[in-house]
Every structure is written in structure tokens, then in C-alpha cells.
Amino acid sequence: MAAGTHYLPGLTPTNEAPVQKSDDAAGYYVLGDKLVDPKTPTGPIAERWTTRKFENRLVNPANRRKLDIIIVGTGLAGGAAAATLGEAGYNVKSFCYQDSPRRAHSIAAQGGINASKNYKSDGDSDYRLFYDTVKGGDYRSRESNVYRLAEVSTNIIDQCVAQGVPFAREYGGLLDNRSFGGVQVSRTFYARGQTGQQLLLGAYQAMERQVAAGTVEQFTRHEMLDVIIVDGRARGIVARNMVTGEIETHLADAVVLATGGYGNVFYLSTNAMGSNVMAAWRAHRKGAYMANPCYTQIHPTCIPVTGAHQSKLTLMSESLRNDGRIWVPKKAEDCTKDPRDIPEEDRDYFLERIYPAFGNLVPRDIASRAAKYMCDEGRGVGPEVEETQPDGTVKKFRRGVYLDLGAAIERLGKDKIEEKYDNLLDMYERITGENPYEVPMRIYPAVHYVMGGLWVDYELQTSITGLFCAGEANFSDHGANRLGASALMQGLADGYFVLPNTITDYLADGPFEKIDESHPAVVEALEGVQSRVEKLMSINGERSVESIHKELGQIMWEYCGMDRREEGLKTAIGLIRELKKEFWTNVKVLGSADSLNQDLEKANRVADFIELGELMCIDALNRRESCGGHFRGESQTEEGEALRHDDEFAYVAAWEFGGEDGAPILHKEDLIYTAIEMKQRSYK
Amino acid sequence: MKLTLKIWRQANASDKGALKTYELDGVSQDMSFLEMLDLLNEQLLHNDEEPVAFDSDCREGICGMCSLMINGEAHGPEVTTTCQLHMRSFKDGDTITIEPWRAASFPIVKDLIVDRSAFDRIIQNGGYISANTGSAPEANSVPAPRDKAMRAFNTATCIGCGACVAACPNGSASLFLGAKITHLGELPQGQPERYSRVQSMIGQHDAEGFGGCTNIGECAAACPKEIPLDVISQLNKDLRKSMILG
């Protein structure tokens, strides 16, 4: 029996276990043991979750109030988990770095949330949602997890409606759906372009209700700086009170990280300014494996960078590609002209030209890469932005392509377009100062979401006992690419329905031995954090945290962005190692550590982004194949499309921290499918 | 362009605080207001002066974390959040005064940062529908009339930024309160708790020290999400009915 197939009695695997032949990252890592048991239940796929829920031990209601759970992060996953576990009667302590749980970045999600309700009677089912999600993830996710996600998706909609989430409705008062992300059914529930906001407020209100009930205690403006491990179990966290600067320890029977994604390793992304990897990275350094860190989703339709001052990027919903035609001038000398003066025959509708079948609706990664290549060629439009080249020289590029609504306005009328995209086009005008009804919009790809994250087993437990991870922070459900409207589904699935049903089995062994703040492991974690903060405050160098973060972002975007290659990744690793030295010898943080200090907050975060960046490059270097959001230039078809190598890489790369100066250790978890067959995609 | 900035600096909650003047050059029209402050902070750091503390997170107008009174207006001269305000709304040579939200119920934490936890406590006192996870009926089993669902949505778009309070001469949070009362009160799922909700939320509002509403309308004018003033009428209507119902 192949490794990883222990849960398949009576089932036939559709693929062989992979055997890696290439070894691009030789010298940068150490090969560890295979991961053979992600605790997946046995049996046919549609029965696995039910089986597991039955097999799991429960906690008697009277015992729940004796159990403490720490949940870090208050987005869809963390907020939903805090509310649900509070309702169940556990003592929950909830932490967020914002001034209110309601501000977590889930709030910015626009499009919608998928669920296999089949309200349109268009042939949807749990299996179809499962199938679309595994295929969309380019066959790099764990099938049992994805099926479970599809299975609980319908419960999410029921729950949210009961909470008063104002989804769009039909005239008869029933819920409306739209189609999204290139699937053939309409299964996306939405609240205009603010679905994330409405779902988050639902979870937030449910959580606040538990605060009033006394089951949830909330700690706002608190940032987790380490996890406390006692006798091999996660038993608490070290957090900094961002107002007083006090470094506090909080103890519990279990710890849940729901701390979101790390897209800000690229400096510019659609993430919030504060989104960071610190909680996950601190856990990684204490033994939690980081899985597939290189899997990054780059969204094709964002508002382009206007200059060096740019602090973040804003997404324009992908739905615009339904009506907009994407083009650049055929001639580089036309790039500075008013686009309205460029005649039809001098425009290159490059997506329609290269991909005649799908045209402007090719998947996100293909659209993104094509835009990049056009701009690399010197046919980009919009303001010129300076970019530092590997040899240190600075070159100027225009990083934008046109998304032209002109033809759609002519065909459907301005009113129709206004009705469809009103908010969006207003936001565009506010940011760019250009009227998209008159001048073609400019767009460019931007980092949007990360599929990688902390490795978790089927129970959402990391490789540290008692430390769980939910939402975007874990790696589990999207494989190498996430479908539109699936992030909200996964966050809420984890928070409302999965974690509350799996953590019980762990807590059934509790309450664990009482520990207090004088326990040596607690003192050690606290002192570790204190000395790191003191170190950051005492370097007193020349460079702002911001400038180092920007430099990291440029390295990552250039070499570990849309087109990754062996040589570039190796260059990046070298540059990042130098940048790490620069940071720890030359960063400048003013003010004091014992008061509100935003530069200190950023310094802590950027220090971890630098280490994560190196691991992402090593992961990308090792994976000499293209899959989903990870495109290796060396692995493409003759037509320039992503080419997977299932025989070598159908595995999850779970990285163990290798020590301060040691190489990371790679543990492979083979992906064996029984309910679906792997296929190569084509969009020509 | 070149600007003169007068910025409120206050080391902590107990410090007295004062406006401090800074000159800033090299500001581009394409910068957002907060990117302009980022530029100032980079300059301050270079001069060994502690950067100005201000709140922001999503920088796309939805999380509600950013604030700022800009020349006396909450979120500045446009109907949007401070993070979506761009420098093309200003011109070379302008003097811009930047202060934190001014309201007794939002104590200053540092510089331009205030404590808005009173909003969380208002929500804790009834700003929800009680529906434990797992207890929900099938989503389409309770239809909601489309116009009511639309009004619920329009009022649910409140981002909890506090501009309404900052703009109100009375420091009232009635618009925030009215938005939530209307959102939940328009939906069939919100009916069972409708009248207990309004009483307990108003009770907390008053206990937090927010002022009363005297129909001035500054709140709706300042609201970046354009929550309409009539949610306050809804609030009063529901309150009256709740008192009759006892």
C-alpha cells in the first residue's frame, strides 16, 4: 500500500504516489520523513465527515465551562469559531490587532460565497462543488477536506440568513444566485459587492452576543507574538497590548490561529495594511509545519500602481471581465497617447488573440501573466514606475493594461453598465481620478490571496498538539489555486462547522494540568518576546521598517511573482538573506516599547515576512512544475500554459523549521485521489 | 505639491496634546490622504522625530478603521472614508488641519487614534439576532420581501467608523444605532427581538455618554456610506412602539 493510502480500504486510487526526479532546491533544504497520516477518516468520500463526527469524542456540557480556548483573529474563521464555541459553553478568549473584531480583513471580500444549494436547479450538488474546487485547485488539495467543505456549504447559508445577513433576493423574497469564476452553475450567494462585509458582521454580532453572555472575552489591539508550548501541547500565547505596550501571557487548554493570509510579504497586495504572518510564523518556528507557502493567488483586475508612494492595491471585481475588453497598444510609441485616440486597428486585444475560445474570461493566472508579458515588452500603459533590476540598475515600466467598457456601453447602454458595476466604477474614479465611462480603465494584476499556510490534518490541528488553524491561515482546501467566492465559504465552514466539531475530540482529554505564569515554559516564551522587542528598539540604524518591507516586496514580486524560474529564485534567496542582515543591523524604530508604537508593530511583522519570503522561494524552487497560482517558467506547454507534473509533485510540501541558521526540512504528504481523476486543463 | 500640516499630537490618554505644524514637500495628486501621512512619517523618522500615530487597515473604504477630522470635516471634504480620499482634492500651498475624532465617548489613545470600543458594547447589547450555530432553518423557508431586504442591506453597510458621532454637535451615535435597528428590524428573522433590542441598545448608547439626537443631520452628511437620516426616525418609531408594548 502506498504511503498516504491507509484510509482507502475498498476504494481504488486514481493516481500513483508521486516520485520526484528533479531537485532544483538541492542544498537549500533537507528531506524529512513523509507525512503518512493526516487523520483522514476511512470510507467513501461522501460518508467521511459523518463518520468522523460520530467517531469523535464529545465534551459533556457541564465540563465545557472548565475548558479555555484561545482564538487569535476575528475574521470569518476566527469570529465564527469564537461565537460557536462560546455558544457551546466553552471559555473563549478572542484576540485581534484591530480596534474592533468587526474590522478583520474578511470584511473587504466583494464577490460572494459559494454553496451547493442548487436553488437554480441547474445540476449543482455537493459532488459538483467538490469537483469544481479540486479541479480549480489544479489537483493539489486533499480530497476529503474539499468534500467536507462542499458538504457544509449549505449549512453556512442557512446560518447566515438566520443571523440576518441581507443577501440579495428575488422579487418573490427568495435568495438570488449568480455565477462566478468560470463554473457552469449559479451557486454564488451575494450581498451586492459587499458580501464579505455582511458575512463578517453576522459572525461579529454572533460573537458580541457571546461577549455579553460572558462566554467570550475579547482582547482588541492585541497582537500575538508567540505560542506557549508546555509538555508538547500548545497551552497559550504571548501577546502585546498595543496600547500600553505590555507583553502579556494568556493560558488555555487549546489555541486556534485564524490569522489570515500573508500576501503582504509582497509589500503591495490587496490585503489590509496590518495583515501579517507573525502568529503563523511564530508557531512555525515552534514546530508547526508550513505547507505549500509558494502558492499565491494573483488577481488580474486591480488598480495599477501610480508611484513609489503606493501603500496598497485595490481590487476591481473580476466580474468586469464579463463586459470589458482587455487590450494594449500594438505599438510602444502609442502607450502615452490618450487611448481614445488609438484606432481599432492599432489595438492588441491580446487575450482574445492568444486564447480565442475563452478570450477575456481565461482563468485568473493566465490573464495575469499575459498582462505582465505585455508590460515587460514595453506595451504597458499608465504612469511610469521605476523598478530595480537584479544588477542594481533602475528601469522604468508602465504597469497597466486597458480594460475597455466602451463596446459594452455601446451595446447595452450606459444605464445597464451603471446598474451592474456602479459602486465599483465610483471607487475606480475616486482612486484614479478618471471616469471609466469615458476613458478605458487601467488594470494590473496584484497579490490577492495565499493558498499556502500552516499545515493541518483533517481535524484542522497543526503539527503542534493542541494548536489548531482555520481559514486562510491554513493550507487545506484550495490546492494551488482558489476559485472565486470560495474563500468566504472556507472561512465560515472552518469557523462554524468544522473546527467546533473536531476540537472536541482533543478537548475531551482536558482540562489539562493547571499551569500558571511562573511555569518555566511560560517564562521562557515571555522572555523570548521581550528580548526580541528590546533588540528591535536598540538597533537604532538608518533605515525605516517601511523601506525594508518595500525592498522585500520588490524581490518577491520580481522573482517569486507571476513567473518563477530557477535562476531568479536562487537570486532572490541570496537577496533576502542579505536583507535579513540589513534589517537586524540597520533598522530604525523610534519611540518606546511601553506605549502605542506603530513602527515597532511593523518591525515585528516585517522581521517574520523576511523569513517567510525565503521559505516561499525555496518551496517555489523545489516545485519544478506549474500548478494553479504557481507558475514555473521551465514548466509550460508549447502554448505557454501551465504544465503540471503529477508524477513528481502530486504532494503537499510541508516545511518544518530547521533552526535559526539551518535549512528547512521538507515533509511530503502524497495526494492520492479516489473520488476524482486528475486532468490537465486547457483554455485555448 | 507642498503642504502645511497642522496635526494633533498627544503622547497618550492623559497627555494634554496640541496641534503641531509640519511642512511637507513632494506630495503627488495620486496619493491617498493616508499615503501623504506615510510620506510625512518617513520624513519624521529620518529627522529622529516620532511618527504620527493614526489608524488605518483595509485602505479600501470598508473596514471602518480610519478616521480623522480634516479641516474640521469628518473624513475630509468628499463623501468617502479618509483612506479613499486622494490628494487631488487639495492644492499646492494648502494648509490642512488634522485632528482625531472629537467625542467624549471616544477617548483619545494617542495622536490621531481614538478608542471606539463603545460601539462594540452597543452591539453586545442587542445588536444581533439570537441564532446559535446549527439551529438555523433552511434558508429559503422564510422569504423576505425584496424591498425590505434591500433596505436592510443599505443600512447594514454601516462600517462603524464613528464619523457620525464626530460630526454631531451633540456627540450622538443615533445614526449608528438607527442603522443597526433598521437592518435587523426590516428582516423577518429580526422580529422576535425587535422591541427588546431597541431598548437595550439605546440604554447602552446613553450609558456610554453619547448625546441625544436633535435632528441636525450632520451625521448623515458626514457618513461615508451614505446611511440615510430616516434610520433615526425608524429608531424613534421602534422605541415608541416598544414602550407601548411594555
Which member of A48, A128, A364, A624 is catalytic? A364
Contact between chains at B86 and A433 (C-beta distance less than 8 A):
yes
**pLDDT < 70 stretches in chain B:** 246
Q: State residue B4 phi and psi, 5-degree precision.
A: -110, 125
User: In chain B, whose CA is at the least distance from the CA of A189?
Assistant: B139
Looking at beta carbons, which residues of chain B come within 8 Å of A274?
Answer: 57
> Mean pLDDT in runs of 10 for chain A (684 residues)?
52 94 98 92 92 96 97 98 98 98 96 95 96 94 97 98 97 92 85 94 98 98 98 98 98 98 98 98 98 96 92 89 93 95 96 89 86 95 84 88 95 87 85 94 96 98 98 96 94 98 97 96 98 98 97 96 96 97 98 97 98 98 96 90 95 97 96 92 66
* Residue B31 amino acid letter: M
CA distance A540 to A385: 31
Distance of CA A552 to the CA centre of its chain: 19
Statement: B3-110 belongs to CATH 3.40.50.970 = no
Instruction: Please tell me the predicted confidence (pLDDT) of residue A192.
Output: 87
Tell me the shortest Cα–Cα distance from B164 to chain A, in angstroms: 17
Q: State residue A212 phi and psi, 5-degree precision.
A: -65, -35
376-405 in A: which are within 8 Å (CB) of B? 383
Q: Shortest CA distance to A104 belongs to which of A146, A72, A136, A64?
A: A72
Instruction: Please tell me the predicted confidence (pLDDT) of residue A658.
Output: 97
Instruction: Please tell me the predicted confidence (pLDDT) of residue A244.
Output: 97
CA distance B171 to B213: 9
CA distance A585 to B127: 49
Instruction: Please tell me the predicted confidence (pLDDT) of residue A592.
Output: 96
487-526 in A: which are within 8 Å (CB) of B? 496-497, 500
Tell me the shortest Cα–Cα distance from A95 to chain B, in angstroms: 14
Domains and CATH numbers, chain A: 45-287+460-507 (3.50.50.60), 299-448 (3.90.700.10), 520-650 (1.20.58.100)
Distance of CA A512 to the CA centre of its chain: 33
- What are the angstrom distances between the C-alpha of B132 and each of A82, A156, A496, A497? 12, 12, 10, 12
**pLDDT, tens digit (0-9, with 9 covering 90-100), for B179-224:** 999 999 999 999 999 999 999 999 999 999 999 999 999 999 999 9
Contact between chains at B60 and A108 (C-beta distance less than 8 A):
yes
* Residue A641 amino acid letter: E
Contact between chains at A98 and B63 (C-beta distance less than 8 A):
yes
Instruction: Please tell me the predicted confidence (pLDDT) of residue A366.
Output: 84
Looking at beta carbons, which residues of chain A come within 8 Å of B116?
Answer: 99-100
Grid cell locating A126: 455537493
Contact between chains at B80 and A430 (C-beta distance less than 8 A):
yes
Q: Where are the alpha helices (DSSP H) in A303-413?
A: 350-354, 364-376, 406-412
CB-based contact (8 Å) between A172 and chain B? yes
CB-based contact (8 Å) between A593 and chain B? no
CA distance A466 to B205: 40
Instruction: Please tell me the predicted confidence (pLDDT) of residue A1.
Output: 37
Contact between chains at A201 and B156 (C-beta distance less than 8 A):
yes
Residue A64 annotated in active site: no
Instruction: Please tell me the predicted confidence (pLDDT) of residue A661.
Output: 87
Tell me the shortest Cα–Cα distance from B230 to chain A, in angstroms: 19
Class of residue A26 by CB neighbours under 10 A (exposed 0-12, middle 13-18, buried 19+): exposed
CA distance B54 to A273: 12
CA distance A288 to A460: 12
Tell me how crowded residue A354 is: count the other CB atoms within 10 A of its CB.
18
CB-based contact (8 Å) between A543 and chain B? no
Contact between chains at A208 and B124 (C-beta distance less than 8 A):
yes
CA distance A160 to A179: 20
B140 closest CB neighbour out of A98, A175, A500: A175
Instruction: Please tell me the predicted confidence (pLDDT) of residue A2.
Output: 44
Q: Shortest CA distance to A653 belongs to which of A28, A6, A1, A75?
A: A28
User: In chain A, whose CA is at the least distance from the CA of B133?
Assistant: A84
Q: What is the DSSP string of A157-202?
A: HHHHHHHT----B-TTSSBP-B--TT-SS--EE-STT-HHHHHHHH
Tell me the shortest Cα–Cα distance from B130 to chain A, in angstroms: 7
Grid cell locating B21: 505644524
Grid cell locating A485: 467566492
Tell me the shortest Cα–Cα distance from A88 to chain B, in angstroms: 9
Instruction: Please tell me the predicted confidence (pLDDT) of residue A3.
Output: 43
CB-based contact (8 Å) between A17 and chain B? no
Q: Domain spans of chain B?
A: 3-110, 117-133+141-245
Torsion of CA A457, A459, A461, A466, to 10 degrees: -140
The C-alpha angle A41, A44, A45, rounded to 5 degrees, equals 75
DSSP state at residue A395: E
Looking at beta carbons, which residues of chain A come within 8 Å of B131?
Answer: 159, 162-163, 206
Instruction: Please tell me the predicted confidence (pLDDT) of residue A427.
Output: 87
Looking at beta carbons, which residues of chain A come within 8 Å of B135?
Answer: 162
Q: State residue A14 phi and psi, 5-degree precision.
A: -95, -5
Disruptive mutation site among A301, A312, A426 for chain B (greatest number of B CBs within 10 Å): A312
Q: CB under 8 Å to B129, separation ≥6 — which residues? A: A162, A163, A164, A205, B184, B187, B189, B190, B193
Contact between chains at B157 and A194 (C-beta distance less than 8 A):
yes
Residues B29, B35 contacting (CB under 8 angstroms): no
Query: Which residue in this structure is represented by grid cell 458626514?
Result: B222
Residue B2, classed as helix, strand or coil, is: coil
User: In chain A, whose CA is at the least distance from the CA of B63?
Assistant: A103
Is pTM beyond 0.95 here? yes
Contact between chains at B152 and A197 (C-beta distance less than 8 A):
no
A603-624: b (≥16 Cβ within 10 Å) or e? bbbbbbbbbbbbbbbbbbbbbb
CB-based contact (8 Å) between A444 and chain B? no
Disruptive mutation site among B29, B62, B146, B183 for chain A (greatest number of A CBs within 10 Å): B62
Tell me the shortest Cα–Cα distance from A207 to chain B, in angstroms: 9
Grid cell locating B142: 422564510
Tell me how crowded residue B102 is: count the other CB atoms within 10 A of its CB.
16
Disruptive mutation site among A209, A223, A299 for chain B (greatest number of B CBs within 10 Å): A209
The C-alpha angle B125, B130, B133, rounded to 5 degrees, equals 130
* Residue A382 amino acid letter: G
Distance of CA A53 to the CA centre of its chain: 27
User: In chain A, whose CA is at the least distance from the CA of B190?
Assistant: A164
Residues A628, A451 contacting (CB under 8 angstroms): yes
CATH of domain B117-133+141-245: 1.10.1060.10
Contact between chains at A590 and B45 (C-beta distance less than 8 A):
yes
Q: State residue B177 phi and psi, 5-degree precision.
A: -65, -50
* Residue A261 amino acid letter: G
Class of residue A419 by CB neighbours under 10 A (exposed 0-12, middle 13-18, buried 19+): exposed
Q: Shortest CA distance to A364 belongs to which of A449, A448, A299?
A: A299
Residues A115, A189 contacting (CB under 8 angstroms): yes
B30 closest CB neighbour out of A172, A306, A590: A306
> What 3 state SS string does B118-182 have?
HHHHHHHCCCCCCCCCCCCCCHHHCCCCHHHHHHHHHHHCCCCCCHHHHHCCCCCCHHHHHHHHH
CA distance A408 to A415: 11
CA distance A290 to A83: 27
Residues A638, A626 contacting (CB under 8 angstroms): no
Tell me the shortest Cα–Cα distance from B36 to chain A, in angstroms: 8
Positive/negative CA dihedral, A503, A508, A514, A519: negative
